[in-house]
Chains A and B, each alone.
Chain A
Amino acid sequence: MSSTETRVRVWDIGVRLFHWSLAGLILGAYLTAEEDATVGLHARLGLAVLAWVIFRVVWGLVGPAPARFRTFVRSPREVLAYARDYVRGQPGLHLSHNPLGGVMVVSLLALLLALTGSGLLMYLGPEWSGPLSPYMGRSLAHGVEELHEGLAGALPVLVVLHVAGVLLSSRLERQNLVLSMITGRKRAPDATPPARARAPAVVVAAGLGLATFIGLGLLLPGRADAAETPQALLQSYQRQAEAEGSGFAGFDPARGKALFLKETSGADPSSCAGCHGADPTRAGRSPAGRNIEPLAPSAQPERFTDAAKADKWFKRNCKQLLRRDCTATERGDVLAWLLTL
């Protein structure tokens, strides 16, 4: 075969590892996106995607010549000219990505950056009781979520176009481009000398990607675990309380107990204790006769380990008894009291 003689090493190990890791991580992220049980894993996979994307951007600036944006990002005029040749079935050979492929690489990287960025914002926001909760309003949090879901819907479209382009190009160029992304070798358009990466650049890029991954990875499990204890929920209420008013001076268990026992005339049941019972270490009873597990975490360890659930019940019951939602200070007071029992 004559083509083997002109094959040169094009894709360095960084580009190849990036490509296939990304494919696997994205597949995993899609499979774990919907269920509550896997959403923690989904967030970690998304973070790994972000780290790889950052690595690729750095690699596109300092990496070996074929990996650089300067090599494969072409002017609109060149892209159009290439597209015309492509439609005619006679595209020229390019050592790196062809001009249309370049458009695809940039689009995918930009989309993934926005997708993982919005996901990270969701993770740090109110949905997960993250550190940005006090600074993100409901509408902003909702907007970020909509954006994340919209972009997640657009990504498969780009992926399908990408795969279709690779298969079509493989046919037109009579070489297996999928295999090239594994072996790193492609048919050279002419006697192109193989590109070599400068050692410092490799170290810089790999270091940056790794540092990002480790840094964000450390941040993530910490948050995921933190949101799963009553103490962490209390801290989240504290951050919200500090953001709500300037006069916040800590939670007061006595105030929380008073609120819990406070009677509201005209309401039935007329207080928190009306259903939960005056002693939260023991079970209560709903108006429909249903047993309610003890509210105190010391008696029922699953209590206040799910921020969304706590939020739902505070909201319902506060509206029922106070005709308004409770403040973060009031929630914190009650939880602080329950934690003393």
Chain B
Amino acid sequence: MEKPIQEERKAFLTGNEVVAWAALVAGAEFMYGYPITPQNEIMHYWTRLAPRYKRGFLQTEDELSAGFTTIGGVMGGKKAFTATAGPGNTLMQEPLSMAEMMRLPVVVVVQQRGGPSTATVIYSQQEVTLTTMGGNGEGLRIVYSTSSHQELFDYTIKAFNTAWRYRFPTFVLGDGYQAKMREPLTLYDPEARGVAMVGTEPFVGKEGVPGIERPPAQHRNTFSLEEELYEKVKTDAGDYEKIAPSVAEYSSKYTEDADLVILSHGVVFRAVAEAVGSLREHGFKVGFFRPVTLRPMPVGPAREMAQKAKKILIAESALGQLARLFKEAAFGAQAEIHTLFKPGMGITAEEVEEKARELLQ
């Protein structure tokens, strides 16, 4: 198959275009989707690019169907993905819960919009709880929260590998700002950079007689006995716990001597990084901690940071969804916790800096 990107090149794109390119170079074969702002252009660009590289697209009747058809594609051995946002993400939790139960490597890109319900089509970080823990299960999924177009590209590629390597549903959590803004990034072919793409295989329709020529496959989401279900969930949770430390990612800076550590994720991290840079220039002992994976959380490093820091400021465009994840990870630590919660609103570097100065006085 012809490679979509032969040589690395600079590009100036919207986040939605970036996702389409990333899925393409990651070797995604099929996208299933239903339109919802602010992720529509992922579908638009995908449908424009897909025929050139012999990839497929199906527009379904709603997000339930988009989720289930993605499951179908994956079970047929195709590298398949979907994208959604807001109320679409809510609906999609039903099929994604099934994917969790059946350990299916579906990849989902979420561009968060305001909530609850229809709310705004613009922006928020209010789909953290839904994306990390949605469905009637235990949240056995992997969620990357990106903060720049380069990361959106890198982690969309990575999501396919993580999903197919570990067989847990994998999410790239962006937002309306990241979807719509334009900024420069470098597009590349992962294999040209030495990133091997994990291969796919069908879950059903394999050759050979099951039980004789190959192990039988059993893919179910229904169980008759509570003992049976208990064993299944415990096994999956055990697998998840085992991989969590190697999947978890974070970045932090200046936390060693910090009087105040500012915690954030996603696009808000940009404001925090800028504020911390400016505060350091003015002699304030401030650092930042940013989980890249919201599920699993980087529990060890988060706890260690919270044990050392005097004060922690949690900044997010939601009413404490990141804070809940963090508090669970850092349970028992002594740091004072302060918050800058702006549900459905952007957070600027200036506000973060002002709040930090208040806390340091």
A and B associate: no
Q: What residues make up the interface of B, taking CB atoms closer than 8 Å to A?
A: none
A residues lining the B interface (CB < 8 Å): none
